[in-house]
Amino acid sequence: MSQESILLVGAGGHAKACIDVIEREGRFSVKGLVGLSDEVGSQILDYSVLGTDGDLPLLLQECPNVLIAVGQIKSPEPRIRLFDQVKLNNCEFPAIVSPHAYVSPHSTLNAGTIVMHGAIINAGAVVGRNCIINSQSLIEHDVIISDHCHIATSATINGGVQIGLGTFVGSGSSVRQGTKIGEHCFIGMGRQVLSDCEAGALMP
C-alpha cells in the first residue's frame, strides 16, 4: 500500500525532529518542506525545501496533508498564523504520534498535534490543535491542553491541569495537579508551577 504524503511548514530544527517522528510512525511520506526564501532549494535531512508560505496554495493542491513544523518558544504567533493560513485551503492536519510515545486510547488528540519520542499522554487527557507534546514529557490523567501549546521536553503536567491557548511550558518544568494556567503564558525551563496563572503570565 502506498503512503500518503505530508507537507511540513517550517524548515528549522523542530522540522528535523518532526521528520524523524513521521519516518518512524510510517503513515506518511514527507513530500517536502516550506521555509524562508533563502532556504528554498536546500535540503533538510534529504528532503527539499519546495517554497515559501506564498507558495502554499499551489503546493497544497498537490499535497493536502500538512504539519506545522515551526518551533515555539518565545511566541506561539508564527505557528498560529501558519495554521490559520493553511486552514483556508481546506487541507488536512493529521495528528502525528511517535511509535515510541504512549497515548492512552482514552485520551483525545486534535488536528495537527505532534507527540514526540518518549512522551506519555494518560487517560482522560485532551490535547488541542496544533500542539507540540515534546520528547519525554508527561501529560497526566484528565489534563486539558488548549490549541497551539508547546509542552517542552521532560515537562510534567500533573492530573487535572488546564492549560490555555498558546501557552509554553519549558523543559523539565512541573505543574501541580489541578492548576489552571491561562492563555499565552510562558513557563520557563525547570520551573515549578504550584498555583494558578493568569493569562499572559511570565515565569522565565
Q: State pLDDT tens for residues 56-92.
A: 999 999 999 999 999 998 899 999 999 999 999 889 9
Per CATH, the number for 95-191 is: 2.160.10.10
Closest CA to 143 of 107, 113, 112, 170: 107
Q: Which three cell numbers stand for residue 200?
A: 499572559
Residue-averaged pLDDT of the chain: 97
Domain boundaries of the chain, sorted by first residue: 4-87, 95-191
- Percent of the chain at pLDDT exceeding 90: 97
pTM for this predicted structure:
0.96
How many Cβ atoms sit within 10 Å of the Cβ of residue 80?
A: 18
* Overall fold of domain 4-87: Rossmann fold (3.40.50)
pLDDT for position 75: 94
The answer on pLDDT for 32 being more than 70 is: yes
The answer on pLDDT for 2 being more than 80 is: no
The answer on pLDDT for 3 being more than 90 is: no
The answer on pLDDT for 1 being more than 60 is: no
Tracing cell 493542491 back to the chain, one arrives at 61
How many Cβ atoms sit within 10 Å of the Cβ of residue 15?
A: 25
The answer on pLDDT for 166 being more than 90 is: yes
Q: How far is CA 126 from CA 21, 23, 83, 121, 196, in A?
A: 21, 25, 19, 9, 19
3-state secondary structure the chain: CCCEEEEEECCCHHHHHHHHHHHHHCCEEEEEEECCHHHCCCEECCEEEEECHHHHHHHHHHCCEEEECCCCCCCCHHHHHHHHHHHCCCCECCCEECCCCEECCCCEECCCCEECCCCEECCCCEECCCCEECCCCEECCCCEECCCCEECCCCEECCCCEECCCCEECCCCEECCCCEECCCCEECCCCEECCCECCCCEEC
Q: State pLDDT tens for residues 105-160.
A: 999 999 999 999 999 999 999 999 999 999 999 999 999 999 999 999 999 999 99
Which residues 6+ apart lie within 8 Å of 97 measured at CB?
21, 25, 103, 109, 114, 115
